[in-house]
Chain A
Amino acid sequence: MTAHAFTLYDTPLRALPSGALHIPGEAALCVSDLHLGKSDRIARRGGGLLPPYEARETLARLEADIFATNARQVICLGDSFDDLAAQDSLGEAERLWLARLQAGRRWIWIEGNHDPGPVELGGSHLAEMRLGALVYRHIAQKGAEGEVSGHYHPKHRVSGAGPARAAFIYDQRRLILPAYGTYTGGLSTTDPAISALFKRPAIAVLTGSRAIPTPL
C-alpha cells in the first residue's frame, strides 16, 4: 500500500490508495460517502434490483484499512447511508460486522445530505467535528480554513493515461475526500462545483493500487 503523505494546517495526513484518509497523529481514519443501502433504496423505489453485496464489500475494505492503520477512531464524513431508511436494510451480518468494527473505537457519524438525522447504530452523531487543527464536515463551506469534507465524489483524469479515478483534492486550505462506498460514481474535478473550491496550486491524489499525486 503506497500512500501519499502531506500536511494540512500542519497536520500530517496520509491519503490511502483505497480512498480513506489516515490521520496518524490522532490514530484516526476518515472515510466519506459510504452510501450503504443504495441498492435497497433503488429497489424500494421500483428501480432495478442491483446486486445486494455493496455493504459487505464496503465494510470489507473499511475493515482492511482500520486494521492496517490501527485506527483508534473512525470518522464517517456523511452520506454514510443512502437515506435514513437504508439503515434498516442492513442485514444482520452487516450490523454485527459494523458493531465488531466499532468495538473499542471512537466512532463518529457526521451527518450528510442523504442521512441528516440520527443513526440508530452505535457511535456518536455530529453535524461536524473539530480534531486538532482541522474541522470535519460533509459539505465544504465557502471561505473555510483547515477543512476536511466529502460530498462531491471527485474523480480526476490524467490525460493520456486512461479513465478518471476517484481522487482526493487539496490545496493550502482544504481537502475533499473521494467517495469510499462501493456503489458510488464520481464528479469530474473539472466541474466548476469542485474546481471553484480550490486555489492553485492544488493537488489531486488518484486512488487505485497506489496513491498518485498530480496537479489539479
Chain B
Amino acid sequence: MTPLPPAFSDWFAARGWQVHPHQQEMLDRAGEPALMLIAPTGGGKTLAGFLPTLAELATEPREGLHTLYISPLKALASDIRRNLLVPISEMNLPIRVEDRTGDTSATRKKRQRVDPPHILLTTPESLALLTSYEDAPRMFAGLSRVIIDEIHALAESKRGDQLMLALSRLEAVAPGLRRVGLSATVEDPPALAALMARGGAPCPVLQADPGPDPDIAMLRTEAPPPWSGGGGRYAIGEIFDEVKRHRTTLIFHNTRAQAEIFFHHLWLANTDDLPIGIHHGSLSREQRDAVEKAMTEGQLRAVVCTGSLDLGIDWGDVDLVIQVGAPKNVKRLIQRIGRANHRYNAPSKALLVPANRFEVVECVAALEAAKAHDLDGDPRGPGPLDVLCQHILIRACAGPFDERELFHEVRSVGAYAGLSRAAFDDCLDFCATGGYALKAYDRWQRLIKRPDGLWQLRDPRAAQRIRMNIGTIQDTDTLKVRLRGAGKPLGEVEESFAATLSAGDTFLIGGQIVRYEGLKEMTVEVSRSAAKKPRVAVFQGTKFSTSTQLSSRILEMLLQKTWPALPDHTAAWLALQRELSHLPSHDRVLVESFPHDGLAHTCFYGFAGRNAQQTLGLLLTRRMETAGLNPLGFVATDYATLIWGLDEVADPAPLLQDKGLREGLDEWLKSNAVMKRTFRGAATIAGLIERNLPQARKSGRQATFSSDILYDTLRKYDPEHLLMRITEAEAMRGLVDFGRIEEFLARTEGRVDHVRLERVSPLAAPMLLEVGKVPIVGEGRERLVAQEAAALMAEAGLDGL
C-alpha cells in the first residue's frame, strides 16, 4: 500500500475524512500506464484521480506541466479548479492549477503556453487546439499524467475520438504518459477501457463501491397525465410540493423547449416566491454562470434543466432529482439520479414524472430495468474518418510531418487500430487536394509534399482558419437573442426558428416571454412582453430515443392482458386503445389511419427500434410517392413510424409487401434529408465547410450557401468521393437496420390490421409530439407550396396573375 504523505493524512484527519478504498487503490496503482475508475457521483471520484498527482508533486516538487485534466464541460473544469485549490492551499502545496477553455483570455492562454501550470484543466477541443501549435512539444515535454473525467460521456461522441487522437500526439511528445479515466456507471467497462488504452495495451478497471441502490419512484399525482403532451404541466402542483419538502431539487427535462415551458408554468405557480432557476444549453453564458454560481452557493431551491447539467459538477446539496418525461435510456437515468445526495453511502432519491400516458408505460419499464441493473448502450463503430481528416489538418498546423509516422500514431488509438493504410491515404489526399476525381487544385493544394518527403501547409496562413474550426460538436446555426436597447444577450435560438418569426410574435427564452422586434446584424432583437401565451421557441435539442432493451420491455408490457403494475389511469388508457383500435402484437402489423391538422396520417407499429422504423419511414414514403399519395414527412420512434401526406392510405398492405422493397431504395435514401444532415456534419468536421471565418460573419448572407448544394453536386459528379463514403457509412449506421425490417416483415407475414379512425388513437397521440421529423421532398410538397402560394395570392387580390 502506498501511504499518503503525512501532510495529506493530517489534512484528511483534520476534516474527519477517511480515504475511500478506491482512492487508496488509485494511489497504489498510480504507476499503471492506463487505469480506469468507475465510481458513482459523489464517490470522491475526482479526488481519486488527482490524489497521485498531488502526492507526487508534494513529495517531489518540480517545474512544468505534470498533469492534464480533460472534462467534457468548460464549467466542470473551473469547478474542479475551485475544488482542487482547497486542499492545495490548506496543505500549502507547491502546486499551480489553471484552467484553459474557450472562455480563457488570450493573454492568459499565451502565458500558459510559455509557462504552463503543474495541473492544466481543459476540454478536448482546447487540447486539440493546443496540439496544433508549433511549440506544443515544448509545452507537453514533461507531461506525466492525463486524467479524463466523465469519459463515458465523451466516448459516446466524436469528441472522444478527437481526444484519443490528441492523446496519441501527446504520447509522441511525452512517451510513457500515464492515462487515467474516470467514469460513471456504464454497461461495458472493458470496452470503454479499451478505447482509452494506448495501442492495445491493457487498461485495468477499478470499481468503486456503487453504494446503496437509488430510491426511485414514480410521482403520484391527483390528476392523471394527459394522453399526449410533453411538458408534465399536470403535475406542477405535486412537483412544487416536493420542491418545498426538499433543500434543493433538480428538475430534468428531455428537451430545452419543454424545460422552458415547464419553468414558465412553475414560475406562475410559485406563489411562495421560492428561488428557482433554469439552465440549458441555449441560454447565454452569463445566465448559465449566474445559475451555476447561485447553485453552488446553495441559494436555489430548484433548477429546471436539461442534459447540460447532466455531468458531475458538484452542485452542493441536491437532495432530490425529478425527471419529467420518460428517461428513454436506463443508463442516463441512473447517471442523472447520481446527482442527488452527494454524500457517499446515502441513497440517491429520484422521482419520475411521466408526461403522458404512454410515458407511464415507459417509466414503469425503466424502473424495472433500473432495479434489475439492466443498463443499455449501443456498440460503437470504428473511428470516424472525418475526425481523422481534422486531426491531419491540426497536425499540419503544428509543423511539417511524416505520413508514415502519423499513420502509426493514429493506429495506436483504440478506435483506429483497424485503420487501413489505404483509408488513411484517402484522408490525407482529401486534406491535401480535396480528393476529387477531377484534379482541380494543383495550384491551390491545402497541404503540399516537400522535396524531403514531409507534408506541410501550402499557405501558413491557413493554420489560423483551421484552428478556428477545430472541434466536432455539431450545433445548428443559431442567432443570439438580445433585448433591444439593453446589450445583454438572453440566449440563442435556431436560425430556422428565427426565420419563421415576424414582428410582434412572442416566444419563451430563459423563462420569460419576449416579443420579436427584428433582426439586426445577425442578432434577434426582442422586447419584454406581457403576453400570457407565447409561441414557443423550438430547439433542435438532442433527440433521445428509447434503447432497444427498454422498447422490448415495453412491448412485453403492452401484450399483458391486464396491467396491475400500471396506475389505473394508464391501464384504462391502454384498455381504451384496445377497444378503439388494437394493441400491437408480435405476429401482426398494426396500422392506424386518421386525419389530423388537415393532413392524412398513418401510423405503422413495428416495434423494430428507431433506426429500423426510420428506414421503414423512408421505404414506405417512397412507395407512397410512387402510388401518388403525396407524402409530406414522417417521424419514427422505437415503436412506430407516423407518416403524413395529402392523400389517405386506403390499403397499407401493398406498401408493406416484402417483394421489391430494396429496389430503388438507394436513390431514395441518397436524396433524403437524413443523408444531407449527416453530410453537413461530416463535411464540417473534415474541414470542407468552415463554420468560422477570420473576418466577422458578413451581414449580407448571400455569401454563404447551403451544404446541401455541395452534397447534391458531389452526388452528381463525384459519388465515390471520400466524404460521400463517410456520409453513407455514418447514415447507414444510424439509419438502415435492414435486418430488423426484414425480421419484422417475416414475423408478421403480411398480416395487417388496418384501423381507420376519426381522430388520433390513444397510442398514436404521443407520436404527434416527437421531434426529429423528416421532410419528404416530392410531388406532395410541390403541390403544397403551390396551394399555399395561390391562397396567399387570392387573399392579396392578386390571383389574376
A95 at the binding interface (Cβ < 8 Å): no
Instruction: Please give the distance in Å from B683's CB to the nearest CB on chain A.
Output: 8
A143 at the binding interface (Cβ < 8 Å): no
CB atoms of A44 and B801 under 8 A apart: no
B288 at the binding interface (Cβ < 8 Å): no
CB atoms of A158 and B792 under 8 A apart: yes
**Interface stretch of the complex, out of B3-11, B642-650, B697-705:** B697-705
Chain B residue at minimal CB-CB distance from A44: B444
A22 at the binding interface (Cβ < 8 Å): no
**Interface stretch of the complex, out of A66-74, A124-132, A201-209:** A201-209
Q: Mark A136-159, 1 if CB is under 8 A from B, else 0.
A: 000000000000000011000111
Known: A57-B713, A91-B440. A187 touches B701 (CB 8 A): yes
Q: Mark B424-439, 1 if CB is under 8 A from A, else 0.
A: 0000000001101010
**Docked CA distance A188–B789 (Å):** 17
CB atoms of B462 and A212 under 8 A apart: no
CB atoms of B702 and A153 under 8 A apart: yes
- Chain A contacts of B441 at CB under 8 A? 43, 49, 52
A123 at the binding interface (Cβ < 8 Å): no
- Chain A contacts of B445 at CB under 8 A? 49
Chain B residue at minimal CB-CB distance from A213: B801
Instruction: Please give the distance in Å from B646's CB to the nearest CB on chain A.
Output: 12
A54 at the binding interface (Cβ < 8 Å): yes
Instruction: Please give the distance in Å from B200's CB to the nearest CB on chain A.
Output: 34
**Docked CA distance A53–B781 (Å):** 28
- Chain B contacts of A159 at CB under 8 A? 500, 788
CB atoms of A51 and B717 under 8 A apart: yes
CB atoms of B433 and A210 under 8 A apart: no
- Chain B contacts of A188 at CB under 8 A? 499, 701
Q: Mark A27-60, 1 if CB is under 8 A from B, else 0.
A: 0000001000001100110111111111011000
Instruction: Please give the distance in Å from B443's CB to the nearest CB on chain A.
Output: 8
A97 at the binding interface (Cβ < 8 Å): no
- Chain A contacts of B795 at CB under 8 A? 215
**Docked CA distance A213–B458 (Å):** 48
Instruction: Please give the distance in Å from A211's CB to the nearest CB on chain B.
Output: 10
- Chain B contacts of A116 at CB under 8 A? none
CB atoms of A49 and B702 under 8 A apart: no
B784 at the binding interface (Cβ < 8 Å): yes
Chain A residue at minimal CB-CB distance from B446: A49
A9 at the binding interface (Cβ < 8 Å): no
CB atoms of B444 and A43 under 8 A apart: yes
CB atoms of A215 and B792 under 8 A apart: yes
**Set A43, A164, A187, A209: member contacting B700, Cβ < 8 A:** A187
- Chain B contacts of A48 at CB under 8 A? 687-690
B465 at the binding interface (Cβ < 8 Å): yes
Name, among A4, A158, A164, A208, the residue most crowded by chain B CB atoms within 10 Å (CB to CB): A158
**Set A158, A164, A185: member contacting B703, Cβ < 8 A:** A185
Q: Mark B703-724, 1 if CB is under 8 A from A, else 0.
A: 1111001100110111001000
CB atoms of B499 and A157 under 8 A apart: yes
- Chain B contacts of A164 at CB under 8 A? 499
The size class of the interface chain B forms with chain A is: 35 or more
CB atoms of B721 and A51 under 8 A apart: yes
Name, among A47, A57, A185, the residue most crowded by chain B CB atoms within 10 Å (CB to CB): A47
**Docked CA distance A188–B479 (Å):** 15
CB atoms of A185 and B434 under 8 A apart: no
CB atoms of B782 and A53 under 8 A apart: no
- Chain A contacts with B in 90-143, Cβ cutoff 8 A: 91
CB atoms of B440 and A52 under 8 A apart: yes
The size class of the interface chain A forms with chain B is: 35 or more
CB atoms of B440 and A183 under 8 A apart: no
Chain B residue at minimal CB-CB distance from A186: B702
CB atoms of B788 and A185 under 8 A apart: no
Chain A residue at minimal CB-CB distance from B464: A46
Q: Mark A164-189, 1 if CB is under 8 A from B, else 0.
A: 10000000000000010011111110
**Set A53, A153, A179, A185: member contacting B717, Cβ < 8 A:** A53
Chain B residue at minimal CB-CB distance from A212: B789
Name, among A48, A188, A214, the residue most crowded by chain B CB atoms within 10 Å (CB to CB): A48
CB atoms of B789 and A52 under 8 A apart: no
**Docked CA distance A40–B519 (Å):** 32
**Set B434, B502, B717, B796: member contacting A57, Cβ < 8 A:** B717
Instruction: Please give the distance in Å from B578's CB to the nearest CB on chain A.
Output: 36
- Chain B contacts of A210 at CB under 8 A? 782, 786
CB atoms of B784 and A161 under 8 A apart: yes
A25 at the binding interface (Cβ < 8 Å): no
**Set A49, A193, A213: member contacting B793, Cβ < 8 A:** A213
CB atoms of B702 and A161 under 8 A apart: no
CB atoms of A49 and B716 under 8 A apart: no
CB atoms of B798 and A212 under 8 A apart: no
CB atoms of B462 and A46 under 8 A apart: yes
Q: Mark B504-537, 1 if CB is under 8 A from A, else 0.
A: 0000000000000001000000000000000000
CB atoms of A53 and B716 under 8 A apart: yes
**Docked CA distance A46–B469 (Å):** 13
Report 19 cross-chain contacts, Cβ distance below 8 Å, ordered by A residue. Answer: A33-B702, A39-B440, A40-B440, A44-B444, A46-B462, A47-B693, A48-B688, A49-B446, A50-B434, A50-B688, A51-B717, A57-B716, A152-B702, A153-B702, A157-B499, A183-B709, A185-B702, A191-B519, A214-B788
Residues of B in contact with A (beta carbons under 8 Å apart): 433-434, 436, 438, 440-441, 443-446, 458-459, 461-462, 465, 496, 499-500, 502, 519, 687-690, 693, 700-706, 709-710, 713-714, 716-718, 721, 775, 777, 781-782, 784-786, 788-789, 792-793, 795-796, 798, 801
Closest 4 CB pairs of A and B: A49-B434, A52-B440, A185-B705, A153-B702
